Homo-oligomer: A and B are copies of this chain.
């Protein structure tokens, strides 16, 4: 490893001068500076991040704590965070809390121990960890008072609900994966708001909820709204097994716009997160907190975007009636 000292000795100056020439901070004669720079690049000099971190107290590394790395959203968050971090000259250290709240704290202290400058947390369902004495931001959902930034899950649900109600559905099944998740609770609350007071709804959770779907449809429901695309796919599977077609017999919506949303048939009407904006904002706030500003930023809910595809339609009864109306008008 070539060091500053190395270069300094080779060229016959002091390490301070080399440091200054390379960083452009102190004043160094242009002639000397270029000589130093060329030698440095010839030698393939790389500053030691350890030494720099030791001296400056900043590692240039951020920690990312995810509740579960296999969470389908993780790749998108990781990617956008990684891009946003890179443009700020920062690196990202990952830690997995594997669905366990205790491990989450462990991961947190692990990262702190590794000297990260700040932490991005996507909390475990139902928890709100408090990292001690290190700048942090939380990406969760609006109803978590500690959240820094989040997708507007409530508003997203509302858009979806409005869409379904607007099509004429008046009895709807709301399907969640895990009732403990605040994110999913917010999504469902939003859906209910969007559906409005005229629509009846049944909320069902998990595998049992999934299995209950055909029964609920028989009972008169004409639409199924899931809190994730994967759950929607599962519902679709139950429906076709029961001989029910989408969107003919029942309309279906998902959440998150995962790749599978366009791979299934019919393509899934769903709602997309603006992960890029979320990542950018999270890092902006985090950078500010690392710089020592008071954490007085209001929490931000980034709007979600409705993606209309072919899994939703006017309910069959209504569409027949419309046809009849039209025939009546034409005759």
Binding site for B on A (CB under 8 A): 46-51, 53-54, 59-61, 68-72, 74-76, 78-79, 82-83, 86, 91-96, 98, 110-115, 230-231, 233-234, 236-238, 240-241, 259-260, 263-265, 267
* B59 A50 Cβ-Cβ under 8 A: yes
* B94 A92 Cβ-Cβ under 8 A: yes
* B69 A94 Cβ-Cβ under 8 A: no
Least Cβ–Cβ distance between A95 and chain B, in angstroms:
7
Least Cβ–Cβ distance between A286 and chain B, in angstroms:
17
Q: Which of B68, B112, B114, B240 is A61 in contact with, Cβ under 8 Å? A: B114
Task: Chain B residues near A267: list those with CB within 8 A.
Answer: 237
- If A241-B265, A259-B72, A264-B233 touch, does A114 touch B91 (CB 8 Å cutoff)? yes
- If A48-B54, A50-B115 touch, does A79 touch B83 (CB 8 Å cutoff)? no
* B48 A51 Cβ-Cβ under 8 A: no
* B96 A93 Cβ-Cβ under 8 A: no
* B230 A260 Cβ-Cβ under 8 A: yes
In the A-B complex, the 6 residue pairs with the smallest Cβ-Cβ separation, listed nearest first, are A237-B265, A50-B53, A69-B79, A50-B54, A49-B115, A233-B263
* B96 A49 Cβ-Cβ under 8 A: no
* B54 A82 Cβ-Cβ under 8 A: no
Least Cβ–Cβ distance between A250 and chain B, in angstroms:
14
Task: Chain B residues near A98: list those with CB within 8 A.
Answer: 79, 83
Subset of 28 A-B contacts with CB under 8 Å: A46-B113, A47-B113, A48-B54, A48-B115, A49-B114, A49-B115, A53-B54, A60-B114, A61-B114, A69-B78, A70-B76, A70-B79, A70-B259, A79-B96, A79-B98, A82-B95, A82-B96, A83-B96, A83-B98, A92-B93, A93-B94, A230-B260, A231-B263, A233-B260, A233-B263, A234-B263, A236-B265, A238-B265
Q: Which of B61, B91, B94, B238 is A82 in contact with, Cβ under 8 Å? A: B94
Q: How far is the CA of A98 from the CA of B80 in the complex (A)?
A: 11
Q: How far is the CA of A195 from the CA of B230 in the complex (A)?
A: 32
Q: How far is the CA of A72 from the CA of B111 in the complex (A)?
A: 26
Least Cβ–Cβ distance between A117 and chain B, in angstroms:
11
Least Cβ–Cβ distance between A72 and chain B, in angstroms:
7
- If A230-B259, A237-B264 touch, does A94 touch B78 (CB 8 Å cutoff)? yes
Task: Chain B residues near A112: list those with CB within 8 A.
Answer: 46
Return the chain B residue nearest A238 by Cβ: B265
Task: Chain B residues near A240: list those with CB within 8 A.
Answer: 265
